[in-house]
Homo-oligomer: A and B are copies of this chain.
Amino acid sequence: MQKFVNNPDFIVEDMINGYVKAHSDLIAHSERNSHVVKYKNAPVKDKVGIVTGGGSGHEPAFLGYIGENMADAVAVGEVFSSPPAQAFFDAFVEADAGKGVACLFGNYAGDNMNVKMAVMMAEDEDIEVKYVVATDDVASAPKENKEKRHGIAGGPLMWKIGGAKASKGGTLNEVIEVAKKVVDNTRSICVGLSPCVIPAVGKPNFSIEDGTMEFGVGHHGETGIKVEKLKTAKEIAEEMTHTVVKDLECPENTELVVILSGLGSTPIMELYVLYDEVYNILSQYGLKVHKALVGNYVTSLDMNGAALTIMSLDDELKELFDMPSNSPGLIIK
């Protein structure tokens, strides 16, 4: 296992310590819970708190999106494993300034269960928490069962836009509404070229044979739509772009935010080779790219692959997306 790791069972603790040391201008440990990281200035007076959380291995998600006009506190789970309810609850406490907390997370069974338990714990402490679940991964369920789909880069987009809404003085209900709009307007698809290795396991938890690719693979290696012969970058980009655009169904001239994220071990060069064709296909549909983010935004340990996410903008989403924000994983000037 060619990895930078100490005891693999403590890789998450080591990573959290590294994050807080590297970005102490923005983030801090929670004194309540070693698996909670918070915005240095949280709770922010008179602001709705933004909380998220999930399993580790997706860096910079989740803790890398804490910051100014972004998430206020994050529950950090073990690798590919939901944080416990207590961690979500402690994150709520860290983020709550008396205006309530919006918990914006990805749709996975463990996270759903633990967030719901944490919301009940928060009720007992008179902290109002509402939540929105990202369901942007079109490969994970058919459109008629959209609510069963998993969340990928819909998360960072919810934190960016929900965070901006909260910073502009939005109420809890207003933040929840705009986060729901982000989910409604966002679609993602992944392609995997190689599997990933969970450090404590030491070998891949699924396989992708050389010369093949898995279209629609999940962020933890969940089975995708199909395994096929490895195609050219142009062909892959075409297939990804058609898939998300057709599922989203937005009118010509719609402006988009496009995220093309590596899955962990994908060279930056190759992401730009893909983006060249993603842009061409979007243009053929008459869609306009307002902002493109190409790099590592939501990863899967050392998986080789790429995830394409598109969000269609209206005036409100555009204004909130463009609001300056500062986090280790995303800076908007």
Which residues of A does B touch, CB under 8 Å? 2-6, 11, 14-15, 17-19, 21-23, 56-57, 59-60, 64, 193-194, 208, 210, 213, 230, 232-234, 236, 260, 264-276, 279, 289, 292, 294-296, 299, 301-302, 304, 306, 324, 326, 328, 331, 333
Main secondary structure of the interface of A (DSSP, over half): mixed
Residue of B nearest to A232 (CB): B6
Q: What would 15 A/B residue contacts be, using CB atoms closer than 8 Å?
A: A3-B267, A4-B233, A4-B270, A5-B233, A15-B269, A15-B276, A18-B274, A18-B279, A21-B276, A57-B267, A59-B267, A265-B266, A302-B304, A326-B333, A331-B331
B59 touches A4 (CB 8 A): no
> Which of B14, B213, B333 meets A333, CB within 8 Å?
B333
Given contacts A4-B270, A11-B269, A59-B269, 14 further A-B contacts (CB under 8 A): A2-B213, A2-B304, A4-B236, A5-B270, A11-B273, A14-B233, A15-B276, A18-B271, A19-B272, A21-B289, A22-B272, A22-B292, A265-B267, A265-B304
Are A275's CB and B22's CB within 8 A?
Answer: yes
Count copies of this chain in the complex. 2
Give every chain B residue within 8 A of A271 (Cβ-Cβ).
4, 18
A332 to chain B minimum Cβ distance, whole angstroms, is 9
* Cβ-defined contact, B296 with A4, below 8 A: no
Residue among B2, B22, B57 making CB contact with A279, cutoff 8 Å: B22
Shortest Cβ distance from A156 into chain B, in angstroms?
14
Residues of chain B lying within 8 A (CB to CB) of residue A273: 4-6, 11, 14-15, 18
